[in-house]
A and B are shown apart, each in its own frame.
Chain A
């Protein structure tokens, strides 16, 4: 068709006229197909909003069902390695093996969901909640000790839980006020290799009081914390000579700890997590940098 035969719409701008060419037929057909498709889609799929929810669609498709399917298929895919991880002797799992890689990655997920509330998402802990990145461990930092702690927890109601209890030296009047002042100073001096009255974390104490507290410490504290103050992982007694203070290494905090004692609790995760998840959490925590 020659251009000259085409009508114009009559619109003219500076002599440029708008041609009134007919639309291609296929365009019309595609438009009709789109209408049919649109109607069919709203019947087949969830579409029309109702007062509560929306029409479900005859195909019964839903995002939730899709997610459930995905989860089920992943669980099926991981069933074998999961069983292997649950049955494995955690102390001998070969680093870099599939089950180890799987465990570390699964452990990261378990940790974020269950442990991060207290220990922090980066496992750096908080006041009263141990930092899992450092090389100081209350109950032992080897892989099997970590796994035991995860499984049974600390100072909870279960029989297998790790348990120990520090006496309330002040509240129960086991020591006099003077003896408490002396032993607080002595405990702080343990983490002060220079002996200048300022310990490794910047807490200050009276050097004369400290020397007077040595005897009080030996009688009352050394059975758990050791004669040299390096602690005892079998009783969860912290090492007092290092730079790590779970509740704080300044004078007032150490005084509070001696006066009222501390009673940190951790749930027995074996009651809530599967064996594979417990092993995974232990593998993850152990490889964070502080594991022994």
Chain B
């Protein structure tokens, strides 16, 4: 019989059911506290680290200088034309996610995702103010807005907004000198964009982390859908050993406890779950594998004197083995398999390529843009001139004199022109700046480059002091025969 002929009586739309996670202690909870402290510490504090780059450059260790189009990261300075470093890091981040997801499931979601970390922080603050699960439930169900409820709610929302403000505030410090901006922000002299950015990020932080919480993961985030493609039967996920736990029931004396499984149906795993699910229903989309249910269940198993691990990290392949009474595969065998090794190799390859590119890059850079309108200029003495726009980049923290020369054909000569002063063949370029200079390359009348269609030659730019130099190949257009 098909069941479609009975129309569902379910509601079409449902309100969110609030989740009140209970406090839990255990090794995974401790690990999450440590990760939270490290990640939030990095986020809030790193704009304040100083790094001396000399008098002409900013001294902020991590700075995204949008106005001057530079990214500073300690001793590394990224120019706009080196964006491939950022692209490479993004590829590494992607491959890293693949690696961790295929090895240990949704560890990113459960431990390191900003949504998880900030939600954890907001729930912690909520617990400090309103109490643990039961107290919060009572407060939630209390219809009457008496003084106590108003006071607790006001303090809670105020604290949340302060956290949001600190989060949005930390964000803007990455984009300009942090101490200066802090003074400007407090005295009301900062740019309106800074205030606007802070306001938006404060609002989104509070909304995502404190109010929407698990709904972001369930409804808004694409990652839970995508990562199913990276998981397989050897991936570690949080699971419930139903073959050990069922049939579940309260272990009352003389009530046939000997026929029951280890699960005493205490609901500890459900009460601590920040996603509001029951892990005993099996692996499900909502589960971010935060492992708090493992801590909760282990605590309970200790109390009733049963072995730990009724809820545990395990892989799909472990289930039939354990049911058959065999030992599960050791964890390292789950983790080291061709798929994770491939991801690691790819990840490392990109990383080494980036490191290599980082260490071989020169402190001088030149781009040559030939002016091909017209392709050549006939001078009054019959000489042929080609015009090139050179972009000279000085990546040093001090002004340098660059000498430009050409090789490839002895008859070619180069003259630089800075707007309309003849600069000869050397030109100063300010510290950490790019300078566009026009170069005239000339071939005398009747010379081979003047009389042929195309002559290949090479531009050289050299710092006379350090003798560091780079070259760019280009083409000289003559009159042809």
Chain A residues at the B interface, C-beta cutoff of 8 Å: 1-4, 6-11, 20-28, 95-96, 100-101, 104, 120-122, 124, 131, 133-136, 200-201, 239, 242-244, 286-287, 289-291
Contact = CB atoms under 8 A, between A and B. Distances in A.
Given A10-B4, A25-B13, A243-B445, A95 B379 contact: no
Given A24-B219, A95-B420, A287-B419, A2 B380 contact: no
Contacts of A10: 2-4
Given A8-B3, A20-B8, A1 B419 contact: no
A200 to B, nearest CB: 5
A200 B479 CA distance: 12
B134 interface: no
Nearest to B8: A7
Interface-centre pick from B8, B16, B380 (highest chain A CB count, 10 A): B380
Contacts of B421: 95-96
Nearest to B384: A243
A122 B387 CA distance: 11
Contacts of B387: 133, 289
Given A10-B4, A124-B374, A200 B382 contact: yes
B419 A95 contact: yes
A290 B12 CA distance: 78
A2 B3 contact: no
Contact of B440 (A7, A24, A289): A289
B438 interface: yes
17 contacts: A6-B10, A10-B4, A20-B8, A22-B11, A22-B14, A24-B13, A27-B219, A122-B373, A131-B374, A134-B380, A136-B380, A242-B380, A243-B379, A243-B380, A244-B380, A286-B420, A287-B417
Chain A contact residues, majority secondary structure:
loop
A129 to B, nearest CB: 13
Given A26-B16, A242-B380, A244-B380, A133 B374 contact: yes
B378 A134 contact: yes
B407 to A, nearest CB: 23
Contact of A243 (B219, B278, B284, B378): B378
Interface string B2-37: 111000111111111100000000000000000000
A4 B379 CA distance: 89
Contact of A244 (B10, B15, B378): B378
A243 B281 contact: no
Nearest to A29: B13
Contact of A131 (B10, B215, B371, B377): B377
B420 A291 contact: yes
A134 B379 contact: yes
A242 B381 CA distance: 6
B318 to A, nearest CB: 22
Nearest to A8: B3
A248 to B, nearest CB: 12
A25 B18 CA distance: 13
B445 A1 contact: no
A136 B3 CA distance: 93
B106 interface: no
A203 to B, nearest CB: 13
A51 to B, nearest CB: 42
7 closest A-B pairs by CB: A122-B373, A124-B374, A242-B380, A10-B3, A22-B14, A10-B4, A287-B420
Interface residues of B, number: 37
Given A133-B377, A289-B438, A24 B419 contact: no
Contacts of B281: 2-4
A30 to B, nearest CB: 11
B419 A28 contact: no
A22 B419 contact: no
Contact of A135 (B4, B374, B380): B380
B62 to A, nearest CB: 34
A200 B445 contact: yes
Nearest to A124: B374
B400 interface: no
Given A133-B387, A286-B420, 16 more contacts: A7-B8, A9-B4, A9-B8, A20-B10, A25-B13, A28-B13, A95-B420, A100-B419, A104-B419, A122-B374, A133-B385, A134-B380, A135-B379, A242-B382, A243-B380, A287-B420
A12 B8 CA distance: 16
Nearest to A17: B3
Interface string B208-224: 00000001000100000
A61 to B, nearest CB: 21
B374 A120 contact: yes
A3 B371 CA distance: 69
Contacts of B4: 9-11
Nearest to B481: A202
Given A25-B14, A27-B13, A289-B385, A124 B380 contact: no
Interface string B379-404: 11110010100000000000000000
B381 A2 contact: no
Contacts of B419: 95-96, 100-101, 104, 287
A135 B11 CA distance: 85
Contacts of A101: 419
Nearest to A244: B380
Nearest to B282: A3
A25 B15 contact: yes
A286 B417 CA distance: 12
A120 B4 CA distance: 75
A22 B12 contact: yes
Contacts of B2: 10
Contacts of A243: 378-382, 445
Nearest to B14: A22
Contacts of A286: 420
Nearest to A136: B380
A286 B12 CA distance: 75
A291 B8 CA distance: 86
B377 A134 contact: yes
A68 B449 CA distance: 50
A75 B379 CA distance: 39
Interface in B149-194: none
Interface in B399-446: 417-421, 438, 440, 445
Contact of B16 (A24, A122, A131): A24
Contacts of A133: 374, 377, 385, 387
A243 B278 CA distance: 91
Residue of B3, B381, B420, B438 with highest tally of chain A CB at under 10 A:
B420
Interface string B347-385: 000000000000000000000000101100111111001
Contacts of A131: 374, 377-378
Contacts of B379: 134-136, 243
Contacts of B420: 95, 286-287, 291
A20 B16 CA distance: 16
